[in-house]
Homo-oligomer: A and B are copies of this chain.
Amino acid sequence: MENKTARFEKLLVKNGLKRTGPRLQVLEILSGRDSATSQPYLEQVMGKNADRVTLYRVLQAFEEKGIIHKVLDQQGTANYAICSDGCSAHEHHDEHVHFNCDNCHKIYCLDTVKIPALKVPAGFKVEHLNLIATGLCASCSDKVN
């Protein structure tokens, strides 16, 4: 396995973004998690390593470049996950289902579950679909049993 930080540095360069501390740290954090990460959580773990505003701008830049994608949870707060691949500044390909666990509140990207096509009333032109499922994640429904 190649050095992770080196990979991130390449990713930044490829997207015309400077290699900075806050950016590397955000990539580090997001890549180490199995579910989408909320802005508040990121802010907390970054602590004084970066200003709040810097964090917001890092997230915005990453989203624009197609490095991460945003998912709003049931409360409307932003959560971020690294894009699997094929996403770019010009187009995101994250039309997978997101699963919001009622118990642990994690948001999973169900990359394998595609959103089924939809029949809408005449005149409506669908551009994107955004499906959030709620319920119990695999780990939480285990514990309940």
A residues in contact (CB < 8 Å) with B: 72, 74-78, 97, 99, 102, 108, 110, 112-113, 115-116, 118-139, 141-142
Contact = CB atoms under 8 A, between A and B. Distances in A.
Contacts of A139: 123
B123 A142 contact: yes
B138 A134 contact: no
A127 B102 contact: yes
Number of copies: 2
A38 to B, nearest CB: 12
A89 B37 CA distance: 32
A32 B121 CA distance: 21
A134 B127 contact: yes
A119 B124 contact: no
A123 B95 CA distance: 22
Given A78-B76, A99-B124, A124-B99, A118 B137 contact: no
Contact of A133 (B97, B118, B134, B135): B118
